[in-house]
């Protein structure tokens, strides 16, 4: 019998498979940022966040050094998370518009957030080898979610490129040539159950500060994905 999602999350937090990522996440946790000097950083791999029967999955890139690597929860404690959770709250996927720390009361409705790389990488850029090494965790997570997941929102091209081969190996019919990433791109895959894949620009400060991704654009994508996942209007 395989692991439950909770067991997978617990085992993931002990992973030390990528030496460069282990060294970096622990260095950041030790040196800290001045604003968080009094806090104890998580400094380990960050598991997915959300219910085990999620119909919608949001796939990011990797934990932020002083965000999830500090708090231990996806998109929690940084400006990218501020934008994402505000939009999720606005469309009815989150119980509150802010995410500051584990235990702040935040709940996700029918939605789970994960990433292809679970450790904070230097310069926020994992290597292809690190992506592939970490891909086994994502594959098992999606396998456990397969009975209920109906839609996936992918934040950024890195996550899109990492996810497609994982979905193909898991039995979903990914077209060849593989679909290219784009904001609001939408494809439907046949497989264990029909799966809608929706692209969205990443909620990075580079995108949100420049207006490449606006709150309205993000709400539109999340609202559409919510409907595709069967989570209501």
Do 21 and 119 contact (CB within 8 A), yes or no?
A: yes
The tens digit of pLDDT for each residue in 79-91 reads 999 999 999 999 9
Fold category of 5-228 in CATH: Uracil-DNA Glycosylase, subunit E (3.40.470)
Tens of pLDDT, residue by residue over 88-139, are: 999 999 999 999 999 999 999 999 999 999 999 999 999 999 999 999 999 9
What is d(CA 169, CA 179) in angstroms, rounded to the nearest whole number?
16
pTM above 0.95, yes or no: yes
Q: What is the pLDDT of residues 24-33, one digit of tens each?
A: 999 999 999 9
Strand partners, 186: 198
d(CA 94, CA 218): 14
């Amino acid at each position: 019998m395989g692991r439950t999602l909770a067991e997978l999350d617990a085992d993931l937090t002990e992973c030390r498979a990528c030496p460069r990522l282990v060294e970096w996440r622990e260095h950041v946790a030790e040196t800290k940022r001045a604003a968080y000097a009094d806090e104890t950083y998580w400094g380990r791999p960050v598991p997915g966040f959300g219910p085990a029967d999620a119909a919608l999955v949001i796939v990011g890139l990797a934990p932020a050094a002083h965000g999830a690597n500090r708090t231990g929860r996806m998109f929690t404690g940084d400006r990218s998370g501020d934008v994402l959770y505000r939009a999720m709250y606005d469309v009815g996927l989150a119980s509150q518009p802010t995410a500051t720390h584990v235990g702040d009361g935040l709940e996700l409705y029918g939605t789970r957030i994960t990433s292809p790389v679970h450790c904070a990488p230097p310069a926020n850029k994992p290597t292809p080898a690190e992506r592939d090494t970490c891909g086994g965790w994502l594959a098992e997570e999606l396998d456990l979610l397969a009975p209920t997941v109906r839609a996936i929102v992918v934040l950024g091209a890195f996550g899109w490129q990492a996810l497609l081969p994982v979905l193909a190996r898991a039995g979903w019919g990914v077209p060849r040539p593989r679909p290219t990433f784009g904001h609001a791109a939408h494809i439907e895959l046949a497989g264990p159950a029909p799966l809608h894949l929706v692209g969205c620009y990443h909620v990075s400060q580079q995108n949100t500060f420049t207006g490449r991704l606006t709150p309205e654009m993000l709400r539109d994508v999340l609202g559409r994905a919510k409907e595709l996942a069967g989570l209501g209007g």
